[in-house]
Structure 1
Amino acid sequence: MRYIASFFCTKNNRFITSIISLLLVNLLFAQQKVTLYGTVKDQQGNVIEGVSVSIKNSMRGTVTDNRGRYALHCRKGKQLVVVSMLGYATIEQDIEVKKGVVFDFVLQEDYQSLGSVEVYGKNTISQVRSKGFSVSALDISALSGSIINLNSFVGKTSGIRLREEGGLGSDFKLSINGLSGNTIRYFIDGVPLASLGSGISLANLPVNLVDRVEIYKGVVPAELGEDALGGAINIITKKHKHNYINASLSLGSFHTYIGDLSAQIVCGKYDFTIRPTLSWHSSANDYIMRGVEVWNPDLYEYQTTEKRRFHDSYKSLLAGLKMGFTHRPWADEFMIGISSNINHKELQTGQKQTIVIGTATKNKTSFSISGQYTKRHFYTDNLAVKLYASYTTNHSRLVDTAYRRYSWDGSWMPTTYSEVLGRARAIRHYLRPQILLRGNINYAFSDHSSLNINYLMNSIGNRRYDDYDLNFVPSNDRLTKHIVGLSYNQQFWHDRLNTNIFVKNYIVSYHQNQQRDTMAWLTGANKVPSRATKNYYGYGVCGRYTVWIPLSIKSSYERSVRMPIAREFLGNSQTIYPNFQLKPETSHNINVGLYGSATNNKHLFGYDVGIFVRKVTDYIFLTFNGTNPNGTDSQYRNIESATISGVEMELVYEFDNRLKFSTNATVINERNRRKYLSDGTADVTFDNRIPNKPWLYGNVYVEYLLPNPLGVKKSFLRLNTSMQFVNWFYLTWEAYGSKESKSIIPTQISNDISATWSFADDRYSISMECTNFFNSILYDNYMLQKPGRGFCGKFKLFIN
């Protein structure tokens, strides 16, 4: 007892004691709490999703689900309940709360009520997390005035690591719990993001369109319908009911300009809806490269110096238009959409920054037409239907006609090979028409159980030809995937236990005619049939049990399968060769975690801790062939097996909805489990960490919200700062070379600060941001240097 008393009295353990006391107090109060249930509808009787329902002057709140239902945990007795939603008049209602009380609300439209909405983004996040999957949800809508692009914001989430090759428009890889690149799938409102064109990504998708981002780690819901082995990013767009214009303009360092415009026009009593979108991204990316070698002819030696990037400009234009009907008796939404995207990118480096490029360019154009139909209560109150179809043309062109080798000072020497391909001069084209079909049916047997069936077809062509290289052999290939998912969700004890079980069927077929290609010895085109169809299965289960409000337990398991995507299987006609012998990846994914939150007056403490394991067979890994002089050629190949395990955690503290502090950290153990090579010799890299991948990283984020600064009414000032830490890691296999000669990427720390002043109930705002505040040298893929300190200003205007 003396030891226990001394433990709790020790100064270093007082914080732990306070947390334990807070949890015990919440446990005692939990005995006095009940749940208020109900439904929120509009004046026409339509249920409303995303309505905030809260207890006034408290931090207790929730939001309605897609059936308009809410469940608000609060104390017994008389409570003042606040119900609010953008575009509707706020309701404040005194309710005598006791066990079994059900209270429904009807909201009236109010175009002037923009400033009266209580923000409970964390409760929306809680609703997503309650599904049982290992998932994070980021509230983008509340921060759209300060976020420049989604990439940087998503990259600061627990378990996530964003790896960019340079500035705006550069290629990037997003890692989720150690698995990255093509193992991650991207969606927008449940549909593959590729439907908008190959040039659209998190980096250039207009922030103004986004409400939140859901990040599924490892185990992915069957209704998303893709073969996502490592995880999935699902972007949820805003759903406004009335007319609006949302515009923003950003100006930044390195000659960076970003402009976004989105709007909605609802016409007449039939709710004919028009939604235009326009987005422009441009940057010279002329930041300074530090520590590069340049030849000094006077001293006749290479010298280390600083030089600006001189051939790295990027331009992207996205234009889209959707038209159709919303909120009709026969459809919640029926829309026809068209969109076009044009990208122009100058190429500055190869896979390593020692390979400098000065004339080659890459251009992408795409055009998409789509149709979608959604209807809740389809013929019966329990049935919901979502249908989607799109056809997208993707045209990419690489111009690689210079026989030159550049230096960082802009000078060049003649060579006998081209800059990128390292072969003959080329103007290489590939056309990739893509067809997407998706059908989703959800049937609710009751308020506590439902069955979901999802079908997705993704068919992509690959026509290649060259305008310059007469020896290039054209081809026309196609890769098609059919994925069917069946899932059953069941809730027990008023959603205290939530379970989901699912199965997936994958059918993949391909047609390739590259047997005559001169590189068939490398691509394996002459060793596989020209046509083939294969079938695979996956399955999984997940569950979440809430012990009490401060403690929930969740776990999930999936045997997942990922077929090679077109880029891996068919190559990119530029620097990545096809590999027709590539096998699908299979993985056993396991997640176990604890999460919860506790409140005490104006204080909120939250936490999320998870353990994950990935046992991958036929792991697809990008390797460099070295078959051209530039060392830029590569190919995806299978590693027999790889094991990934790790721990991630996140801690959050909030005070009075003004001060927020959060920190997260991820530790990953990712190793090669192949003991022997194909010739039977021992693999010296067995049990080595997978190279060129961070294994320890974390973030710290602090935000302060100041209402009505300088006496300006209906305004607030948001100040925040963040720090990102990445521990050193090996660039190549750690078994290669001596201890002194091993290539490593050093430990990196970057700091960002920003301030956003919003006026007139967030109708318009001004934001300033400084990235990499201390001007640290930051590296990423294969030691590619990222921008130094940069500044950016953003102005946003919202008219309703």
Structure 2
Amino acid sequence: MYKSVLLFASCLVLTLHVQAQSIHGVVKDSEGEAVPGATVMIVGTGLGSAANFEGVYRIDSAPSGRQKLKISAIGFEEQFVELLVKAGQSHQVHIDLEASSTSLEEITIVGKSEATQVREQAYAVSVVEAKALKNSSADVNQILNRVSGINIRQNGGMGSNFNLSLNGLSGNRVRTFINGVPMDYFGSSLSLNNFPANLISTIEIYKGAVPIHLSSDALGGAINIVTDTRAMSYLDASFSYGSFNTQTGALNGQWHDKKTGLTFRVKSFYNHSDNDYPIDINILNTETGNLDEETTEVKRFHDAYSSQMVWAEVGVMNKSYADELMVGVVLSGNYKELQQNPYATGTSAYPVGEAETQSDIKIFNLSYRKKDLFVKDLNVRGYAVYLDANEEYVDTSSNQYDWFGDYRPDVHVTTGELGRKTHFYLNRTNFLANANAEYAISSNHNLSVNYSINRMELQGRDDFQPQNNTQFSNPNIVNKQVTGLGYTHTMLADRLSTTLFAKNYDYLIQSNIASYDGEETEFFETKENRLGYGLASTFFVNDNFQVKASFEKAFRFPESYEMYGDGLNVIPNPSLEPESSNNYNVGIRFNSISQRQNQYMFELNAFVRDSENYIRFEPKLNRSTYVNDKSVLARGIDLALRYAIRDQFSIGFGGTYLDLRNSDKASGLYGDRLPNEPYIYSNLILSYSISNLLGLEDQLTITNINRYVHDFYLKWESLASQDKSVIQSRLTNDLQLTYSLKNGRYNVSFLVSNMFDAKVYDNFNQQNPGRAFNLKLRYFISKN
């Protein structure tokens, strides 16, 4: 059904009539970023167009003869361009606007894109603009893995477990958000490894100190995915197909009426992969009971994954009482076959052939934002979200499979394939709300306040395990409240900016711990209150060169499943303590601003993460648990370089060195690197574009992506065996070709991942897919 709707929508929009005699192009600023809303008018005719959120404008039915274009945008110098319009022809005119600096009562207004404004904050923050990636087949994980300071490790193909590390801290210490809403509560059908690039405008990566409007107990940073919410009408449809029967589709559209402000918005996607890629296995010899010394190539046969989401919203935009007021509903689902225990180290001798998980989620959301509410310079925004998720975990088979898909029946009569038999139903409800207000007391003083609440209840039952019935028969409750206060002061003509902030954390968790046989239970309640604080400061030496420094005393409280288990493979540890960290960042940023010359970008960030009661996961199959390490110290540096020749050629490099060690002097592991944590990784990206290749308002872009991860210990360094406890270094090479017609209206992309078919082992020493191919088609149209 989803594919039929997608195909129908694509065919419908392809029938739109295109005027041959037109003027079109892209409006950019001096840094090469799009200028949405820029107005391009033909002087003396009344004909014109406003640039969409990718900077693209188009004027149809342009009169013949010599014409003059007037280009204007708030914060930019007005510009005029003359051209000769010939009958029956289409004319491409790209425009570069220069930022204006206008002094009005000692207030300086400089035209900058939203992405540039975020980059120039005092926080250590990187911004990824997805407009150049919308034609690729990459998900958010793959995009983030190209950012310096970030390393993402996966257990396998699409839908597999993954671990994200940001400047030395990983897992739940790094919080993810969608438009400021915490993403980790949305479930596996809305995660970074299945969220397509089509739905994204920008990705903000905060390394270390986190601004108060992203209100959560983030210990080591935050990632905020910002979706397209501009007041315009558009349709964005795509479908891709690739190796291992991998299929992805996305349909993203919005209708906006300028007069009434009425807006309808839909975002949706579908993902599927059989994940039947070949892997190398040491086959178990059933006669000797030993593993073969030589490996055998087999295909994964029970690892399929599917997910889908539809997010519909209705409301108003650009009204006197609201810049945006939207209500919506999200429906999503997820299905995953299990090939082996998700916490297994290496490849299991006996694969899983029938166990599976699935979920369905309903989310209702309300969002509001308004600048200059009631009084000038009072900006407010907020959201409320209610989530109802049903998850199901099935492991009831008594069969024993081998890696060729054959099985012996009824071998595990009393147990399942992964442990005790289970058919576990878990219901999770969440209520999340956030309110944020910012007020400019004067041109140099700004005050902000934020409040958020997140209440979660877990309740479930198990057809086979009495322990789960007892532990989850009554709701397990987690309640978090965070109140934040921030103050920003600017001076020296806005060249120096400093933000001071404090966050108060209130935490309540109530749970029942059941005995192994499920006949006894013990009630636990934990209440905690912590005060976090920090500062972030930046100084502009000149227009090109910026220095940053930040500090935060941050806290993170254990999640319910970390303390009390998940009823499946993670056993309880109710003695877990909240973890805290002193986070330090110092960095510099240089960016040449002349679009008419070659561009240079240089960012260097040094960081320290001094953590106490560090919560670490210890994988032990169905007896895995979370533990506290008393003291952990992370020190490192990440570097980002980029060089570009106009819009034709660019080369970018990102590299990270991380020294993450046990710093508890009383421990026998003092000085050891933490296990299963890479410490050197980098990427090199080269891109070359050719415009007007066939004279059809087209562009061909060739991109080469290289990724390197140095080898690292799977277990504690002093305990590890060099032969079996090291995950080998990896070097992968991807090649992507993207061809666009009609200024990005029609797009086709071809991707070869892991082009040289390197053997890649990742999280828990799991083998990842080898060489893979993917073809993606995308259609985009917008109307202002």
Distance 1:654 1:64, change over 3 A: closer
Equivalent residue number for residue 714 of structure 2: 731
Amino acid at match of 1:498: S
Equivalent residue number for residue 224 of structure 2: 234
Is 1:320 matched with 2:311? Answer: yes
Comparing 587-596 and 547-556, the one that deviates more: 547-556
Amino acid at match of 1:789: R
CA contact (8 A) 1:404 1:418 kept: no
The whole-number CA distance in structure 2 between the counterparts of 1:508 and 1:299 is 51
Distance 1:93 1:635, change over 3 A: same
Superposition deviation, residue 572 in structure 1: 2.2
CA contact (8 A) 1:250 1:258 kept: yes
The whole-number CA distance in structure 2 between the counterparts of 1:130 and 1:520 is 58
Pick the aligned partner of 2:394 from 395, 399, 408. 399
Comparing 300-309 and 165-174, the one that deviates more: 300-309
**Secondary structure, aligned partner of 2:244:** coil
CA contact (8 A) 2:602 2:641 kept: yes
Encode CA deviations 1:520-541: one digit per residue, 9 max, x unaligned. Answer: 99xxx84xx6334221010000
Equivalent residue number for residue 511 of structure 1: 510
Pick the aligned partner of 1:585 from 579, 590, 594. 579
CA contact (8 A) 2:732 2:755 kept: yes
The whole-number CA distance in structure 2 between the counterparts of 1:578 and 1:639 is 16
Distance 1:467 1:318, change over 3 A: same
Is 1:783 matched with 2:752? Answer: no
Is 1:415 matched with 2:412? Answer: yes
Structure 1 gaps, min length 5: 1-50, 70-81, 96-100, 677-682
Amino acid at match of 1:354: T
The whole-number CA distance in structure 2 between the counterparts of 1:119 and 1:317 is 41
The whole-number CA distance in structure 1 between the counterparts of 2:469 and 2:605 is 50
Pick the aligned partner of 1:344 from 335, 345, 353. 335
Equivalent residue number for residue 588 of structure 2: 594
The whole-number CA distance in structure 1 between the counterparts of 2:488 and 2:35 is 18
CA contact (8 A) 2:35 2:51 kept: no
Encode CA deviations 1:260-288: one digit per residue, 9 max, x unaligned. Answer: 00111224732221112221100100000
The whole-number CA distance in structure 2 between the counterparts of 1:204 and 1:749 is 23
Equivalent residue number for residue 539 of structure 2: 545
**Secondary structure, aligned partner of 1:573:** coil
Amino acid at match of 2:419: G
Pick the aligned partner of 1:307 from 256, 281, 298. 298
Equivalent residue number for residue 11 of structure 2: none
Encode CA deviations 1:463-492: one digit per residue, 9 max, x unaligned. Answer: 121023356433221001001111112222
Encode CA deviations 1:309-362: one digit per residue, 9 max, x unaligned. Answer: 000000111112101111111111111110111101000122234322111001
The whole-number CA distance in structure 2 between the counterparts of 1:467 and 1:535 is 38
The whole-number CA distance in structure 2 between the counterparts of 1:517 and 1:297 is 35
**Secondary structure, aligned partner of 2:122:** coil
Is 1:490 matched with 2:467? Answer: no
Equivalent residue number for residue 438 of structure 1: 434
The whole-number CA distance in structure 2 between the counterparts of 1:124 and 1:384 is 16
Amino acid at match of 2:565: G
CA contact (8 A) 1:197 1:368 kept: no
The whole-number CA distance in structure 2 between the counterparts of 1:105 and 1:453 is 37
Pick the aligned partner of 2:124 from 131, 134, 149. 134
Equivalent residue number for residue 469 of structure 1: 465
Superposition deviation, residue 123 in structure 1: 5.8
The whole-number CA distance in structure 2 between the counterparts of 1:453 and 1:648 is 31
CA contact (8 A) 2:460 2:468 kept: no
**Secondary structure, aligned partner of 2:512:** coil
Equivalent residue number for residue 3 of structure 1: none
Pick the aligned partner of 1:386 from 357, 381, 384. 381
Equivalent residue number for residue 75 of structure 1: none
The whole-number CA distance in structure 1 between the counterparts of 2:331 and 2:339 is 26
**Secondary structure, aligned partner of 1:473:** helix
Superposition deviation, residue 147 in structure 1: 4.0
Encode CA deviations 1:753-794: one digit per residue, 9 max, x unaligned. Answer: 001001111112000000000100111111100000000010
Amino acid at match of 1:478: I
The whole-number CA distance in structure 2 between the counterparts of 1:779 and 1:632 is 22
Superposition deviation, residue 291 in structure 1: 4.1
The whole-number CA distance in structure 2 between the counterparts of 1:382 and 1:113 is 42
The whole-number CA distance in structure 1 between the counterparts of 2:494 and 2:34 is 15
**Secondary structure, aligned partner of 1:513:** strand
Equivalent residue number for residue 448 of structure 2: 452
Superposition deviation, residue 408 in structure 1: 1.6
Amino acid at match of 1:641: S
Comparing 769-778 and 464-473, the one that deviates more: 464-473
The whole-number CA distance in structure 2 between the counterparts of 1:440 and 1:612 is 29
Pick the aligned partner of 1:717 from 687, 694, 700. 700
Amino acid at match of 2:592: A
CA contact (8 A) 1:449 1:491 kept: yes
CA contact (8 A) 2:79 2:97 kept: no
Equivalent residue number for residue 636 of structure 1: 626
Equivalent residue number for residue 360 of structure 1: 355
Is 1:293 matched with 2:283? Answer: yes
Q: In angstroms, what is the RMSD of aligned CA positions?
A: 3.1
CA contact (8 A) 1:52 1:85 kept: no
The whole-number CA distance in structure 1 between the counterparts of 2:240 and 2:731 is 26
The whole-number CA distance in structure 2 between the counterparts of 1:226 and 1:386 is 16
Equivalent residue number for residue 478 of structure 1: 477
Distance 1:117 1:220, change over 3 A: farther
Is 1:565 matched with 2:562? Answer: no
**Secondary structure, aligned partner of 2:513:** coil
Encode CA deviations 1:405-457: one digit per residue, 9 max, x unaligned. Answer: 4322223452355445512x210121111110111111112344321111111
Structure 1 residues 138-149: aligned runs within 5 Å: 138-149=128-139
The whole-number CA distance in structure 2 between the counterparts of 1:599 and 1:376 is 29
Structure 1 residues 37-52: aligned runs within 5 Å: none
The whole-number CA distance in structure 2 between the counterparts of 1:196 and 1:764 is 33
The whole-number CA distance in structure 1 between the counterparts of 2:112 and 2:726 is 39
- Percent identity over the alignment is 32
The whole-number CA distance in structure 1 between the counterparts of 2:78 and 2:484 is 36
The whole-number CA distance in structure 1 between the counterparts of 2:417 and 2:446 is 53
Is 1:666 matched with 2:665? Answer: no
Is 1:168 matched with 2:167? Answer: no
The whole-number CA distance in structure 1 between the counterparts of 2:580 and 2:140 is 29
Superposition deviation, residue 598 in structure 1: 3.1
- TM-score, normalised to structure 1, is 0.83
The whole-number CA distance in structure 1 between the counterparts of 2:184 and 2:287 is 49
Structure 1 residues 528-543: aligned runs within 5 Å: 530-543=524-537
The whole-number CA distance in structure 1 between the counterparts of 2:518 and 2:676 is 28
The whole-number CA distance in structure 1 between the counterparts of 2:564 and 2:79 is 55
The whole-number CA distance in structure 1 between the counterparts of 2:439 and 2:113 is 25
Distance 1:725 1:419, change over 3 A: farther
Amino acid at match of 1:706: I
The whole-number CA distance in structure 2 between the counterparts of 1:706 and 1:103 is 28
Encode CA deviations 1:532-562: one digit per residue, 9 max, x unaligned. Answer: 4221010000111111234221110000001
Distance 1:771 1:60, change over 3 A: closer
Equivalent residue number for residue 76 of structure 1: none
Equivalent residue number for residue 636 of structure 2: 646
Amino acid at match of 1:446: S
Structure 2 gaps, min length 5: 1-25, 39-48, 60-67, 81-89, 99-110
Amino acid at match of 2:481: H
Pick the aligned partner of 1:685 from 669, 673, 676. 669
Amino acid at match of 1:692: N
